[in-house]
Structure 1
Amino acid sequence: MLKEQNYDRELYNEDLAPTTENQRTWTTYHYVALWLGMSICIPTFMLASGLIAGGMSWKQAIFTIFLGNVIVLIPMILNGHPGTKYGINFPVFARLAFGVKGANIPAIMRAIVACGWFGIQTWIGGEALNAFISEVVPGWKGFSLGIWISFIVFWILNMWIVLKGMEMVKRFESFSAPILIIASLALLAWAIFAAKGLGNLLSQPSKFKTFGEFFKFFIPSLTGVIGFWATLSLNIPDFTRFAKDQKSQAVGQAIGLPLSMTFFSFIGVVVASASAVVYGQAIWDPVTLISKFNNPIVALVSAFVVSIVTLTTNIAANVVSPAYDFTNLFPKILNFKKGAIVTGIIGIIIMPWKLLSDYSTYIFSWLNGYAAFLGPIAGILIVDYYLIRNTNIDVSELFRLNGRYSYSNGYNSRAIIALVIGILVGIIGRVIPQLKTLYDYAWFVGFFISGIIYYILMVGEKKIEEINMSKEDAYAKAGETY
């Protein structure tokens, strides 16, 4: 814990404090399990199936998803490093580049996206729970308020688990991982059996006749895939701060993220293709697929598994981060648990059922839209930590209003300028058709433009040598945090 004389109450509470050695219990398995729990989820299924519905062949869809996840793995591991090295979470890490008060800007941007995701996942989980109850309670299907009651019950279940704390999150993810693998393989087996083999499933050609047609759809799709985990690439320190060492978080993520996403995406592609063979149309909503099962036992088990799958992702990916982010905004008033409740409330207000209206809204409006905002943040954080600071941080100064990272009244204007420019360049293609390519590449455009501008502004203001701490100084300061 930080010594009392080293922090200001407006920037500190126990949930924001660096983790202690005793809290660092996460091993490689825990990070693999974390990514299995987050990746094997209904939105992953929807993403893969949505690409098929958009015209891709299964090979094109799987390649797009694999490539996107390999790309996003890079900032995931890079931003995970400070969490493990210094035991700090995302909003505290953001103070380094944006200032001790300015960090609230990227933190709230990330939190709002998480609230949207929380709402989406909770709605999906509510649908699954509603399907489960419909198989158990006769007449429930005809009850008009059934879906809304299921939605609220599932919301409460999410809140209950998160309010038990991060240790409960770790246990729940670790326990669920094997169940998710078994359930995924069972779903794959159903698809193969129902369609009488893989031949029928994987023989469906791409709808794109030329490379140009494919590429036009591929680029925004790739940006959407990257946007899928662009959120976690920012707040991954929220989890890596509990790692035993850097190897645990880096290897665990390298194994867990791309492999599990590609694995379950393949299952999504096969199941969507199977549904086209069996039911005459590609069904990209698993809950809709469950409703078509004639066997009540299969439908019952499927609905139960979908509920568990949604819980594992929702809790880890969509509640932990905004809970910390809202806590960072009002440390005196909010803590992790209260921040989680705020997340849950906003997740309802955001009306997630509208975001899931069709695959184009889901992939191109939702995923691409927020990727344009989060790419610039990732660029600034990585450039600051690796190129400006050389990974050396004075942790105690992150909790001081008038310290090294206060800049001007707590805000680093250079980071804010770089952020705004990166966002504007990315989203301008949304309103100017001739510049649509910029929007299609929004995450990449924002990442590199904001990162480069931030580096130029920081070096122009001061020499890097003056900004940087020596390694010896950094290690001495880091020792004060425990």
Structure 2
Amino acid sequence: VGELPMSGHSNASPVIAVPDADPRLYNHDLAPAAPAARSWGVFSIFAMWMSDVHSVGGYTFAASLFFLGLTGWEVLLAMAIGITAVYFLMNLIGRPSLKYGTPFPVVARMAFGVMGANIAAGLRGIVGIVWYGVQTYFASKAVQVLVLTFNPGAEAWTHSSFVGLSALGWACFLFMWLFQLLIFLNGMETIRKFIDFCGPAVYVVMFALAIWILTQTGTSSLSLQLGPPVEGSALGHMAGAAMLIVAYFAALLLNFGDFSRFAKDERAMKVGNFLGLPVNFIVFAIITVIVTAGTVKVFGEAIMDPVSIVERIGNPIVVALGSITFIVATMGINIVANFVSPAYDISNLYPEKIDFRLGGLITSILSVIVCPWIFVSSPQAITVFVSIFGAALGPMFGIMVADYYLVKRQHIVVDDLYTMSPKGSLHFQNGWNARALLALAGSAAVSIGLSLAGAYGAITNVGDWGWLIGACLGALLYMALMRGREAASPSRAVA
């Protein structure tokens, strides 16, 4: 086994060659990353989380927590508990990829089998594709604000409509779609350099916005409680808020391994995660609530869209700076949460013909076919989508963590991740682990049911716990079903 710097990939990372790997399971992008490819230090992991959190969606989510009716300190405590839980869970899911250098769909083979992993990767890929389109659309709205600010005559292009978008809307959307694609298709090293820039850039603008708000309002009149006081136990609402934070990171709680595989070592991953999750998330939330609370005094209403805030300031330079920054921020989260995972997931379906770049191109094309502007205009469509697909992410996490830590005891035969041989420890039944798929189906049905019931008001509060219930149930069902099957021998495992 040795490093293999594959030719034909201008920005490809060195990989560890796997002897006799089956072409149905192996290509350069799915192969274990070699030590020479482990270039992500503490700052790069930290910047990755800044790119994920510092988005328009992240801003809105953070601000919404202060409308739950809790006091500011109660919200901050709930945030600290929720994001600390996310930190430990990320370390759990990131460790197998860090150890073996493999992306999420290959790690999924450990539990679901070398072919069954396509089910897990496919579900995660669908979530990523849809949200990739949605985030691209949100970024295109910021581009449209920019265009109209500096060219008011372009307003004439907003009156037509084709498949739900005006001519200007289409132009801005396609611009963002192509701009992102050109950056993303250059490979993971270019992606690392880009997200090293994205997160810090947003912080500069957010701090500037907070300072401007404070100069307009002063500090004495700001309140961190933006909603009416809650009825009943505050502890219950705090626990619900903490679980909302865990659910917010549900997608990356599956595919964080796509990034941790490039970390220099476990310390870089853990320290980067600590700075990027508990520290960064809480600081960003505090800035967010200061700005949102200040808009009540400055504009007469709470505005949770930062693009709308800079637009209302009215200064063309401020509008340009703010719009460009949030365009960059949206691109950052699109890389981290919505592009890398589907690119790997689609590549995993047909490794012989589809590499990371082609998988990314397919992701981009499908994100347009979804017509995200129509999707986000329908609350019912979002509810059904999140309930069906998002609720399955928790059970998958539970199954994969239980398998790696409790069934396989952190020992995997690396070659077996890439073989269709019946002698392989991950072959199961023709490459499918029926026990894992049964555990996924059963636990996902419960998780989806809770999510739908909560979304449509049949039950209250329990829906917020859908991810945790699904993850625990998935792990317990999987452990029960796997109890009679001996774990693979670690004698050939690579440490």
Q: Would you call these one fold, judging by a TM-score over 0.5?
A: yes
**Partner amino acid for 1:187?**
L
Distance 1:354 1:220 in 2: 30
Deviation at 1:49, TM superposition (A): 2.3
Q: Aligned to 2:212, which of 190, 203, 209?
A: 190
Contact 1:368 1:442 in 2 (8 A): no
Shift of 1:271: 1.7
Partner residue of 1:399? 418
1:189–1:356 distance in 2 versus 1, CA, 3 Å? farther
Question: Which deviates more from structure 2 when the two are superposed, residues 76-85 or residues 53-62?
Answer: 53-62
Structure 1 residue identity aligned to 2:99: K
Give the SS at the match of 2:220: helix
Match of 1:115 among 121, 129, 145: 129
CA RMSD between the two structures = 2.5
Task: Determine the structure 1 residue equivalent to 2:114.
Answer: 100
Alignment of 1:231-242 (within 5 A): 231-242=251-262
Q: Letter of the 2:479 partner, please give it.
A: Y
Structure 2 residue corresponding to 1:454, chosen from 458, 478, 483: 478
How far has the Cα of 1:130 moved from its partner? 1.3
Give, in angstroms, the shift of residue 382 of structure 1: 0.6
2-structure distance, mates of 1:187, 1:437: 34
1:266-297 deviations in whole A, cap 9, x for unaligned?
22222221112222221112222232122121
3-state secondary structure, aligned to 1:467: coil
**CA deviation after TM superposition for structure 1 residue 4, in Å:** 5.9
Distance 1:370 1:281 in 2: 34
Compute the TM-score of the two structures, normalised by the length of structure 1.
0.90
Q: Secondary structure at the match of 2:431?
A: coil
* TM-fit CA distance, 1:143: 2.4
Structure with more of its chain in helix, by fraction: 1
CA displacement, residues 101-157 of structure 1 (integer Å, 9 cap, x when unaligned): 100111111111111221221112111111122222232234212222111111111
Identify the range of structure 1 (52-61 vs 312-321) with the bigger mean alpha-carbon deviation.
52-61
Check whether the contact 1:129–1:307 (CA below 8 A) recurs between aligned residues.
Answer: yes
Instruction: Please tell me whether the aligned partners of residues 75 and 378 of structure 1 are also in contact (alpha carbons under 8 angstroms).
Output: no
Q: Counterpart of 1:428?
A: 449
Aligned to 1:225: 245
From the superposition, tell whether residues 189 and 362 of structure 1 become closer, same or farther in structure 2 (CA, over 3 Å). farther
Distance (whole Å) between structure 2 residues aligned to residue 362 and residue 255 of structure 1: 35
Q: Higher mean Cα deviation, 261-270 or 93-102?
A: 261-270
CA drift at 1:346:
2.4
CA contact (8 A) 1:379 1:448 kept: yes
Which whole-Å CA distance do the structure 1 matches of 2:74 and 2:168 have between them?
39
The aligned runs of 1:272-421 (5 Å cut-off) are 272-354=292-374, 356-357=376-377, 370-402=389-421, 403-421=424-442
Once the two structures are superposed, residues 379-433 of structure 1 have per-residue CA deviations (whole angstroms, 9 ceiling, x without a partner) of 0111111111111111111111122101001110111111111111122232496
Aligned counterparts of 2:41 and 2:151: Cα–Cα separation in 1: 42
* 2:6 matched residue in structure 1: none
Which stretches in structure 1 are left out of the alignment for 5+ residues?
A: none
Query: For the structure 1 residues 362 and 183, does the alpha-carbon distance in structure 2 shift closer, same or farther, using more than 3 Å as the test?
Result: farther
AA aligned opposite 1:163: L
CA contact (8 A) 1:155 1:344 kept: yes
1:258 is the counterpart of 2:278: yes
Q: Deviations over 1:35-79 (max 9, x none)?
A: 112211111111022334554554444444333222222221111
Aligned pair count?
468
CA drift of 1:363 comes to 9.6
Asked whether the equivalents of residues 49 and 283 of structure 1 are also in contact (C-alpha less than 8 Å), the reply is no
Query: How far apart in 2 are the matches of 1:361 and 1:76?
Result: 30
The change in CA–CA distance for 1:310 and 1:203 in structure 2 (over 3 A counts) is: closer
> Contact 1:220–1:368 at 8 Å: present in 2 too?
no
AA at the equivalent of 2:221:
N
Tell me the CA shift for residue 232 of structure 1. 0.9
**Which residue does 1:90 correspond to in 2?**
104
Identity of aligned residues (%): 32
Q: Does the CA contact (< 8 Å) of 1:36 and 1:177 recur in 2?
A: yes
Q: Which moved more, 1:104-113 or 1:430-439?
A: 430-439
**How many Å separate the matches in 2 of 1:351 and 1:215?**
40
Offset at residue 354 of structure 1 (A): 4.9
| C-alpha spacing 1:417/1:339, structure 2 compared with 1 (3 Å) | same
> Could you tell me how far 1:306 is from its partner in structure 2?
1.0
Whole-angstrom distance in 1 between the partners of 2:149 and 2:119: 46
- The farther-off stretch of 338-347 and 46-55 is 46-55
Is contact 1:130-1:147 (8 Å) kept? yes
1:304 and 1:248 map into 2 onto residues whose CA distance is 30
TM-score normalised by structure 2 residue count: 0.88
* 3-state secondary structure, aligned to 2:251: helix
Cα deviation for residue 203 of structure 1 reads 5.8
Pair 229,205 (structure 1): closer, same or farther in 2 beyond 3 Å = closer
Check if 1:81 corresponds to 2:95: yes
Report if aligned partners of 1:423, 1:446 keep a CA contact under 8 Å in 2.
Answer: yes
8 A contact 1:72–1:230 mirrored in 2 = no
Structure 1 residues 287, 371: CA separation in 2 closer, same or farther (over 3 Å shift)?
A: same
Output the CA distance in 2 between the equivalents of 1:210 and 1:84.
45
Equivalent positions of 1:23-102 (< 5 A) are 23-53=37-67, 55-102=69-116
2:83 maps to amino acid = N
Q: What one-letter code is carried by the residue in structure 2 that aligns with 1:199?
A: S
Letter in 2 for 1:345: I
Q: Tell me, yes or no, if structure 1 residue 199 matches structure 2 residue 223.
A: no
CA gap of 1:122–1:55, structure 2 versus 1, over 3 A, is: farther
In the superposition, relative to structure 1, how do residues 148 and 64 fare at CA in structure 2: closer, same or farther (>3 Å)? farther
Supply the distance in 2 between the matched residues of 1:58 and 1:127 (Cα, whole angstroms). Answer: 31
Q: For the Cα contact (< 8 Å) 2:146–2:320, is it kept in 1?
A: yes
Question: Is the partner of 2:30 in helix, strand or coil?
Answer: coil
Please give the secondary structure, in 1, of the residue aligned with 2:250.
Answer: helix
- Say which SS state the counterpart of residue 6 (structure 1) adopts: coil
Query: In the aligned structure 2, how far is the partner of 1:259 from the partner of 1:355?
Result: 33
